[in-house]
Amino acid sequence: MVQFFQDWSLYYDDKGEYPVAISPITLGTTSSIVLCDNGFVASASSCSGKIYMGKIPRNPSPNGIDYSYVSTSGSGTYSLAYLLEKGVETIPSGYNIVGEGDTLSYGLVAYYPLNGTHLASDISGNNNNGTIYGATLTTGVNGEINGAYDFGTANDGFYIDIPNNNFSFYNFSMSAWIYIKGNQLNYDGTIISSGNWNSSHWSFGISQANGSIKTRNPYATVNYAFSLNNWYHLVYVRDSNVLKFFVNGVLINSYTNNNYIPLTSGYTNTKIGMDTYTLSYFNFNGKIALFRMYNRALNSIEIMYLYNKVN
């Protein structure tokens, strides 16, 4: 890790910018094995001029997780996501995102902290702000005052409405902290949903008896035994035709779904805490905090970092 930072600093000193990677790349793979004057390339034969790193390492297997790098502008910011089993000099062990930027801001479509400071505002910069219907502020993941929203019981039907949007993308990630108080009403408990049930519609939530994660368009049921009155971090990812599901930073299931259609509502309503199908159906019985939506697939380091950052 120290070598990474030293070589990128030399690159910056010479060129006045960090190596450009508009979207996060996995270092040490086919297209990013060497760093030279013309950026990350597959081999030294592709270089023009000075070579800064003759062989970029990958994080070692079997316990390693790929290094992920991004520099969206190339003009003074970069970010590296990594896992270290032991600290090195001033670099800490564990899951980290370091540098002068933040990979977790790349591709962020909406971010709702759902707390007393931001209420139902989207702080991603995209202004997909919501309106609260019945949900009330409550203690958050770490017991902080006004750190989450309580969506009542299964019978209440409280929700946050996000009007006048049309989320549409193929690859995506959704991340949320949830706290379950009891069984869900009328089928599933919805974390977020969008669209008209009879046309374009998608949802992400948990099953009625809290025994699985449930999604619609694409459809998935992933078994996981949730306990009541505990916080869980859930992440739902589509990476090309592969669906991935994480609980508390750990991948619990992934499988191929060839129905690779865009995640689009085709409508003007999105709700947190209730399905857009109809009022009082698919209500979420519990609390939700820190909901994020991306138009790209987060990698395993970023997901573990999101979990550890709060937990």
Q: Which helix (H) or strand (E) holds 85?
A: none
The reported pLDDT for the residue numbered 119 is 96
Same domain flag for 96 and 223: no
Domain of residue 166 covers 108-310
Contacts of 145 (CB under 8 A, 6+ apart): 116, 139
Claim to verify: residue 122 and residue 98 sit in the same structural domain: no
pLDDT of residue 123: 94
- Region 262-287: mean pLDDT is 77
Q: What is the CATH number of the domain that holds 228?
A: 2.60.120.200
Max mean pLDDT range (190-199, 204-213, 228-237, 280-289):
228-237
At 308, list the tokens: 């550890």
User: Does 98 share its domain with 240?
Assistant: no
Do 155 and 83 fall into the same domain? no
User: Cα 267 to the chain's mean position, in Å?
Assistant: 23
Mean pLDDT computed over every residue of the chain: 83
pLDDT of residue 172 exceeding 80: yes
Can you read off the two tokens belonging to residue 267?
């409508």
For residue 200, what pLDDT is reported? 72
Q: Is the domain of 213 the same as that of 299?
A: yes
pLDDT of 42 reads 86
Residue 63 has pLDDT above 60, yes or no: no
72-98 pLDDT tens trace? 665 566 777 776 666 666 666 666 666
Among residues of the chain, what percentage have pLDDT more than 90? Answer: 32
Whole-angstrom distance, CA of residue 258 vs CA of residue 281: 29
Q: Point out the domain boundary residue: 87, 105, 123.
A: 105
Q: Does residue 73 share a domain with residue 33?
A: yes
Is residue 172 within 8 A of residue 237, CB to CB? The reply is yes
Please report the pLDDT score of residue 122 as a whole number.
94
Number of folded domains that form the chain: 2
Helices (H), 38-104: none
Residue with more model confidence, 81 or 159: 159
Are both 126 and 273 inside the same structural domain?
yes
Residues 34 and 55 in one domain: yes
Does 159 lie in the same domain as 79? no
**Last residue within a domain, chosen from 105, 132, 152:** 105
Same domain, 145 and 278: yes
Judge whether residue 28 has pLDDT over 90.
Answer: no
pLDDT band at 169 (very low <50, low <70, confident <90, very high): confident
- Last residue within a domain, chosen from 105, 131, 146: 105
Question: Between residues 49 and 222, which one has the greater pLDDT?
Answer: 222
Listed ranges 56-70, 209-223, 225-239, 277-291; the one with the highest mean pLDDT? 225-239
Same domain, 302 and 260: yes
Same domain, 164 and 264: yes
- pLDDT value, residue 185: 74
pLDDT value for 75: 56
